[in-house]
Amino acid sequence: MQCRRAIAAVLAMGLAAPALAVEVPDFGPNVHVVDPATPDLQGLIDGIYAAQQPNHFGPRRDAILLKPGTYQDLRIPVGFFTHVLGLGARPDDVHVIGDLRSTAFLDDNATQNFWRGAENFAVTPTLGIGDNTLQWAVSQAIPFRRMHVRGNIRLNQNQGWASGGWFSDVLIDGLVNSATQQQWISRNSQWGRWTGSNWNMVFVGVRGEPAGEFPTPGQRFTKVARTPLVREKPYLFIDAKGSYAVRVPALRRDSAGISWANGAGKPVTAPGKTLPISRFFIARPGDTAATLNAQLAAGKHLLFTPGEYLLTEALIVKRAGAVVLGIGFPTLRSDNGQPLLKTADVNGLTISGLFLDAGKQDSGVLMEVGATGAGKRHKADPIVLHDLFFRIGGAAAGQVDTALRINAHDTLVDHTWIWRADHGEGVGWTSNPAAHGLWVNGEDVTIYGLFVEHFQKEQVVWQGNGGRVYFYQSEIPYDPPTQSQWTGPTGRGYPAYKVADTVARHEAWGLGAYSVFLKPDVVLDRAFEAPQAPGVRFHHMITVCLVDKGSIEHVINDVGDAARCQGGSNTATLKSYP
């Protein structure tokens, strides 16, 4: 009461009220909560980067949380397993004047720049690469959400390659230059201008999309004017009372542009609900699955902090409306053959920001959404998955039959990379075996930003009706030892994307499949396979042969030219099917 009276007296005199002290929850040692007055803040950030830039497969994880305020002349380089998050109610509440940068891991080549992200703050790139430009040279598993770039952004480094990325709910005042980026998806974003196209650029619900259309070289753009259905990712912030909370945005239908400002850039408050941090159990490395499941059963939501979590039983999320949110790429692993996460067939679940790593024993599946035979409908309040990243091998040998299986109807997936590792430790045809990346049984499942790579059979199998996919990127496996060891029921190899013959309704936009075969006698007959049905439609497909071995003979079914690096074109495109 005395504090309130003192503030009121200050306001009566026409002076600014003193800042309220914010009690920081115990997020553990891997979360760094900072403000503009943090002593040697640049040194802290540089120290994290020095450890994380070479940390391709190591165990360290870091989250940097920026309290509201203006950060003058601050450089934020972002390495592996580093997550930079603003704590404002809106992105502009945290303003970095200086630089935010992702630097290529291999000289100028950013095709291995994985597992890093930036969310919910504004950057004016005065200390960038010149011309008020921010360099964000990245590839897969790089959430860039609720960001405001008060200038320009470039998506590669110098003339080096980069391969795949993600924008959502992003405002860029100036130019986006995709340069040598091979493929990219932007959802519900806005910018002054976009330039650049290589293989596959997809825009869904975007304002400021470029002119031109796939498959014209230099204009390989796939444009969907409005996002049919999405719920933006929850975010941690400091509320008006000075307390930590998690904002869970409401479902958006038929939307375009960003959620936190109108078309003219004026701030708006998007619908949603705010959950106080007291309703979350803050998980830290060392917490057991039994502890986490007990907290869920007691009615808590989960906030995972950075680090590795070795689980001996599956996490079971079964309460309608439960929120599981990770910051700093928290990594779940099981070495005793248990799945990592299972959900019930209930409304409104939100699972966001987790890294799921396959263990020594095959668990059958790493994550399962709804049990087999799930039959409930969730159209009014769907299950939503954001920024879920799966890895089989790379840090160590691991195996699984299927990484992600979706049985629940009306599930939304908003950005996922499902990766059977092609480099690192424990990598090889028999060292990190995995058949499928994604298997969908549920009906009316919608996915934005689907990246699935290197699995030994079909990368994606779709058995549920009504599926929709906006952007698909897939490298088929590099390492089939022989053609006879990699031949499926319909021909040589396994398609990168298979829609079952029983499916009557399916639609996909902006798909790419790429080959890097290590053996010269290996061929894939069809990149995509789907039934010939009036309700099954594909828009804008490309295949690319990236080395001088093997080929992809057809784009979809027996339609489309071959992509061959010897004796023909190394790319093939198809605008629509049928």
Catalytic residues: 475
Contact 261, 267 (CB under 8 A): yes
The rounded distance, in Å, linking the Cα atoms of 417 and 514 is 15
- Residue 93: DSSP 8-state: G
Virtual torsion, Cα 302, 123, 82, 309, nearest 10 deg: 0
The rounded distance, in Å, linking the Cα atoms of 63 and 172 is 24
DSSP-derived 3-state class of residue 152: strand
Contact 320, 345 (CB under 8 A): no
Amino acid at 384: V
The secondary structure of 16-44 as a DSSP string is: PPPPPP-PPP---TTEEEE-TT-TTHHHH
Beta strand 563-564 with 551-556 is antiparallel
Structure token digits, residue 213: 């259309």
Contact 100, 135 (CB under 8 A): no
Q: Which of 441, 442, 440 is nearest to 450 (CA)?
A: 440
Structure token digits, residue 111: 């095709």
Between the alpha carbon of residue 573 and those of residues 70, 346, 446, 447, 560, the distances in Å are 47, 40, 24, 22, 7
The rounded distance, in Å, linking the Cα atoms of 137 and 107 is 12
Contact 527, 561 (CB under 8 A): no
Q: Which of 279, 286, 393, 293 is nearest to 340 (CA)?
A: 293
DSSP-derived 3-state class of residue 112: coil
